Amino acid sequence: MNKGRYLYPNDYMADPSAHVFEGKIYIYPSHDWESGIEENDNGDHFNMKDYHVFSMEEVDGEVIDHGKVLAVEDIPWSGRQLWDSDVAHKDGKYYIYFSLKDKTDIFRLGVAVGDTPYGPFVAEKTPIDGSYSIDPCVFEDNGDYYIYFGGIWGGQLQFYRNNKITFPMCLPHSHENALSPKIAKLTDNMLEFAEEPQDVIILDENGNPLKQGDTERRFFEASWLHKYNGKYYFSYSTGDTHLICYAIGDNPYGPFTYQGVILTPVIGWTTHHSIVEFKDKWYLFHHDCVPSKGKTWLRSMKVTELEYDENGLIKTIQGQ
């Protein structure tokens, strides 16, 4: 049983991205609400409209809601569906990277800038040039910042090949290589891609790229990267098989070799997470739908401790 703690029972928050800033844990979730839209595979029922920021000085301490820090109406190029986000800090500024459909209903990545980890954040007038799909994750390594992104089905990654919309907009066949999440280095000002996005390749135990039909291991959405004992751990959701898995590599670009499951299925459909070290312990932030009695579009964020074995492998956490 996952004994994780629910963090904010007063509202529905999902996809928690956790970071340590100013000696505290700050959490950047998406904000679920009862939109009244019927469930479908494009995720239209996940019609989130704004972001709140939360903080806590101890993992088992009080969770502070710093209020709404960015909303759809604050973003000049906005259409609808303010999905997952992540935050990075550089030179005294905080940058929130977010997923949002533009006015043509195509997902793009945007960025907004603030002076504190709890905002408010002011959005750039246009999306990041060359960006697409969903679920940004920003990782700093030796002073360089990298952004990971992508998600299939409602996340529209299947629309693209070689960073361009390609027809037909469909997934590869099951025997073909799986679609890959993307990585791009960010410019010094943190507002643009410094290079063309590249594939993040996930390999099996034989060194071959995972296949699209390998649904219990292949990438679906929810990229996250963290570093442990000099190795790079790329973790992600398998989507329709409801697992959080991980793979290990030697640098931020990969390739990454599949290692196993971090979190088994939870109550609900989506599984989305972050991993952070705080006061010499590691924690998995994620969500489930237990408080909403299984309504997949009303998720609640929670935290549980994450542990490694003597070989640096992550011990599997039972979702339910």
**Mean pLDDT value of segment 269-289:** 97
Average pLDDT over all residues of the chain: 97
Instruction: Say how far apart CA 268 and CA 295 lie, in whole Å.
Output: 7
Residues of the chain with pLDDT > 90: what percent?
Answer: 97
Q: In this predicted model, which residue has the larger pLDDT, 320 or 95?
A: 95
Q: Domain for residue 314, yes or no? A: no
209: which strand partners?
203
Confidence tier at 2 by pLDDT (50, 70, 90): low
Residue 240, phi then psi, degrees to nearest 5: -70, -10
| Tens digit of each residue's pLDDT (9 = 90 or more) over 34-43 | 999 998 988 9
Q: Domain for residue 318, yes or no? A: no
The DSSP output letter for 272 is -
List 32, 135, 199, 221, catalytic entry: 221
Count of structural domains, the chain: 1
**Mean pLDDT value of segment 127-153:** 98
Q: Domain for residue 150, yes or no? A: yes
Confirm whether 221 is a catalytic residue: yes
Q: Domain for residue 73, yes or no? A: yes
Q: Domain for residue 311, yes or no? A: no
So what's the pLDDT on residue 320?
A: 79
Contact predicate 209/289, CB 8 Å: no
The DSSP output letter for 74 is G
Instruction: Say how far apart CA 79 and CA 264 lie, in whole Å.
Output: 34
Task: Report helix, strand or coil for 239.
Answer: helix
Q: Closest Cα partner for 222 from 150, 280, 159, 162?
A: 150
| Tens digit of each residue's pLDDT (9 = 90 or more) over 40-81 | 988 999 999 999 999 999 999 999 999 999 999 999 999 999
Confirm whether 15 is a catalytic residue: yes
Confidence tier at 191 by pLDDT (50, 70, 90): very high
Has residue 314 got a pLDDT over 50? Answer: yes
Q: Domain for residue 319, yes or no? A: no
Q: Domain for residue 316, yes or no? A: no
Q: Domain for residue 119, yes or no? A: yes
- CATH, residue 228: 2.115.10.20
List 11, 15, 86, 199, catalytic entry: 15
Domain that holds residue 246: 5-306
Confidence tier at 1 by pLDDT (50, 70, 90): very low
